[in-house]
Each structure stands twice: as C-alpha cells, then as structure tokens.
Structure 1
Amino acid sequence: MSVYTRVDRPALEAFLHDFDAGLLVEYSGISAGIENTNYFVTTTQGRFVLTLFEQLSRDELPFFLGLMAHLAEHGVPTAHPLADRHGRYLGELCGKPAALVQRLSGSSVEHPDAAQCAAIGAALARLHLAGQSFPHERANPRGPHWWREASARVHDRLGPDEAKRLDEELAFQFAHRHDPLPRGVIHADLFRDNALFEGERLTGIIDLYYACTDALLFDVAVTVNDWCVTEKRELDPERTRALLAAYAAVRPFTPAEHASWPAMLRAAALRFWLSRLVDLYYPREGELTHTKDPDAFGRLLAAHVRGTPSLLA
C-alpha cells in the first residue's frame, strides 16, 4: 500500500464525480505495504480507501472486487467496493485501474493477544466457507512455479549458507506437494496489518489483492506465521492454539491437513522469505515505500525446519 502514483486533487475530484460519494474533503497517501498505491479519502458522505493498481491488470481486477463484495454480503467483515453511477466497481485514475472501497473502522494491532488471534482464526474460517460459493477461480501467482522463478532471481545474491538453505527447502517442498487438501478462495496475505480491531473485536479484513484459489491450509499457515510469532521468530504456543482452535471450531481440519501442517508452515515461510528477498534486491521506486526485512522469514523458516508442533497439539 505504498504510494507509487501521485494523485492531485483535481484528478481525484473528477474521479469521485462518477461515484455517489459526496464532495472531496481531504485525502492522504498510505505508506504501509508494497504493492499498490493507496489513499485515505474523506468526502462529505463518508470515509473510503482509494486504490490504484500498479501490478494487476484490468482483466484480473473483477475477481478481487467481486470477491470483496461477495464476502461482505456473506457476513465476512471485508470492505465492500463502491459502484459508480454505471454500476461498475472498477474505474481509471492517472492512467491506472482504480477502485474506491469502504474504509472500515478500527486499526491494526502490532502485538496481538490470544483473544485477537482467536478472532482472526474464526474469521478466516468463515472467509474460507463463504468463498466456497464464489463462482470464480484464480491461480496463486506466488505459488510453487513462482518460488522457482524468484529463487533463480535472488540465488546469486545470497551467501553460501543462505543459498544452500534455499535449495534444500525448495527440494523439500517439491517433494511434499499438497494437492489432496481442501481448496478454495484464500486471502493469501492475512498479516496483522491487513486486519482491523477495536479492542478485542475484529472489525475488518482488508487488502484481498493476493486472494486466489489454493489450499485452505496454506492460508492458515500464512496467518499463523505472522500473528503467532515471537520476537525470536518462533511460534508462540498460546496464540497458535487460540487461532487454530477458533478456526477449527468453524471449519474442522481434515486428517490430510493434520498430516501436512509442518510442511505447510514451511511453505508459507518460504513464500514470504522469497518475496522479501526479491523486494530487497529488486526494489521498485515510489514516493512512500519501505522494504521489509527478509531475514524475519528466513529465521522463521529455520525454526520450522528444526521442528513444528502438530496442528492442534
């Protein structure tokens, strides 16, 4: 959610004219995240988030905007996109595809407790169940095929030990694929900065622009790897149990998912280790950008290799 495209006030006012959103009061760029340009927008009729899509094509975007509307209409706390006067969710601003969505209340939590982890676990399970009735599919663009491509890009930049660890993990993952696992729509990026809370109450799940069709357990692993990790880059037992138990109370895990959990935790850590390495060595220019530390997921992956608990120990 960095700012790559500068939006001036007249251009934004012209864009808003196509929506029944009132007159522009103020707007400001959002510096968190790395993929799209985002602004907070306040009008005389409400508060919104404006997104200009920097990587996704116009043809890809109906999947995400339709999914957001579907989930919101099925009781999942996601931001519903705003339709313009012609009933379209997708417009254009500064030469980029753009959308306006509801701005949900609350704020992200940097240090979630067990109750907040339980809330996100239950909500993720409800998202997975609601996604079963969404009629469209999208392959995971950061799946195993991308792991190979990303590894080739960064391999020569790594030290010998890191390169060896990467090669060994790729070999392990391609020997442990998870095709028989339950599949469906996943968020694929449900980190702490993509959920909003008011105290212990979850008010929103945001930024679904990595959403795709994949193993539901991979989504659980991605979420656990961020919400339940300690400063030492290991899983905190209490928060992990809280998240997994709350999830399983809504959608119980299958025997195959229990068996695949250790490898899936490693797969989720590998995916974000690689993406952060790519961002580090091949940065994109932007007005407000920041690169996240890849070592955080490199260390977490190493911890998972040393040993992981069972799915609901």
Structure 2
Amino acid sequence: MWIMSRMKLLEDKRFYVYIYLDPRKSGSYQYNEFQFNYEPFYVGIGVNNRYRYHISKAKRLSYNDIKNKNFIGNSLKLYKIKKIIKETNKEPIVLKLKENLNRGNALDLEIKLIKNIGRINIKTGILTNMTDGGDGGNGNIFGRKHLLKTRQRLSKIQLEKYAKKYKTLYKEYSTIIKEMILNGQSKNQINKQLLIGRDTVYRIIDDLNLSICKFNQSRYRKEKLQERDLNKILKYKDSVLQFLKKEKSKSFIRKELKLPYDILLKIFEYININYNTIPHANNKYLKNYQIYNEVIKKYLLLGLSNVLIIKKLNISKSQYYKIKRLDKTFE
C-alpha cells in the first residue's frame, strides 16, 4: 500500500517550484536559465496554496515566538518575511518558476536552484533554506520519526506555556477563589464570576483543598434546596388550603399546582395537617370515611363480624381495614 501511494505521488503532476524575492533589494540576479529583478531568499516546492503558507505563518507569529523558537519551522526565513512586511508594508514577491511537475522533477529543480544560489546557514549563498532540498537532503528527516519528534516538541512548548500561565493565574486568583469557596460558592459560580477557564479554576481548587470544596459545595447545595423548598411552600400553601376546603383530593391538588410529592408533603407539614387524612381522588370510601365510621361502629356494636360488615357496605376488605386504621377508636 505504501509503495502504491508513493507511485501515485510521483505520477501526480500538480507540483510546482516557487521562489521568494526580497522587494527591498532590487537588481539583476542570474542563476543559469533563471533571472530575477530582486534578491531571492527562499526556494520551495508545493501544491495548491503552499507558496502562501510561509507568509501566513510569519504574520501569525510574533518576533518573540520566532526568537525563542516557540514553533516548528525555519526561524531565519520567517524572521526575514516579518522584517520585509514591517519595513515595506508589503509582502515578499513570490514567483512560481515551473508548474505542472511531478514530485520527482519538482524536487530535482529545487535541489538544483538551492545549490546554484547557495545557503546562508552553511555560508554558500543568500537563501534561508536550512537544507539542500529534496527527500533526504541535509537536515531533512521524513516519515514517522519526524512526526513523533515534531509532536513531542510541540507538546513540550505548549506545556511550558501553560505552566507559566497557570503559575501567574494561581498567584492572582488562589486567594480570591479560597474566599469564594469558604463563602459557599460552587465551582461553576466561581468560573462565571472570574471569567477564567473552567479547567484552570478546577485545578486551582484541587491545589487549594478539594475536600473543603466538596464540603462547601454540598452545604451550599443543601442550603439552596432548603431555600427553594421554603419559597415553594410559602407560594402554594394558600392555594392548597383553598383546595382542601373544597374537599379536593391529594392527586387533584398535585396535578393542578404541578407540585412534586415531597413539596406537597412539606406544605401539609407547614400548615399542620396530617397528609394521610386527606382523601385520594379515586377512593370514594375515603372521601366519606366519617359516614362509614359511624355505620361500622353501629354494626360492630350489634355484634356483626367483619365479613358481614364488608358485604353490607359493598366495599373491599382492604378498603374496610383502611377506614378502620384511620380512626384509632377501632383499636
């Protein structure tokens, strides 16, 4: 598969060879069949918009990034591009020397041009190229090893950047965050108020004392829940009392007010009414349980058995014993 993909790459005639010229240095620069009106400083090969890549990268990076090599690439070339843009307020001149080449021919021409013009880093000429060009030129490493080294270097740069940034943020925010935690504020609230990354907030909290944070968060949530419940109790208690005066059932009250079971229980507790004495919607015997009480008492005084009373009242056994349980005089 690898050989086939390499073969296709060699047959692909989308490649071109391009050259960067310095608009500050005009003159006649002759290299075999190629003649330029400005001094060349970089040669490369590419497809699509590759010839623009170095300009975009130079604009994106600062002088400090280039100086400290906080990126992967040719610092000499990028520094020169930045300097040209700064001094002339124009981009470098980029020419496509030959187009519609396969990769092999493009690489051959690149090597030839670099050799003819020469490189600054080995004191043979004026180009900022760091290698002789081509697959296997001096200093070029291709394949998985190169990819792994690049990733490792980029990862190291990013980690160092984050470590410096975190150190500054920790000094600046650790005391404030600690105070906010002790005042019972949650991680999300801290994140929203301070407008710094959630991961940074969490890391500072972990470095301070995670157990304290957990305790304060749970306490804060508990207090918030209690406050929310009290607000609902005060809001709905009068409505519940009105429904009770109209002899409405528990399920009817819950449905009308859209209240959860636990809140309704708390409302009954608050207004000092036993929840179990309130009838259910579908239990007619409970709605009129006081009438049943009187009848059951009379039958019991007459000496009738439980079975006969159930038959006479035309109710189920479970309903009968529920009525008896509600009135403690049966015990």
**Whose RCO is larger (CA < 8 A, sep 6+)?**
1
Q: Structure 1 length as normaliser, TM-score?
A: 0.18
Max Rg structure: 2
Q: Which structure dedicates a bigger proportion of its chain to helix? A: 2
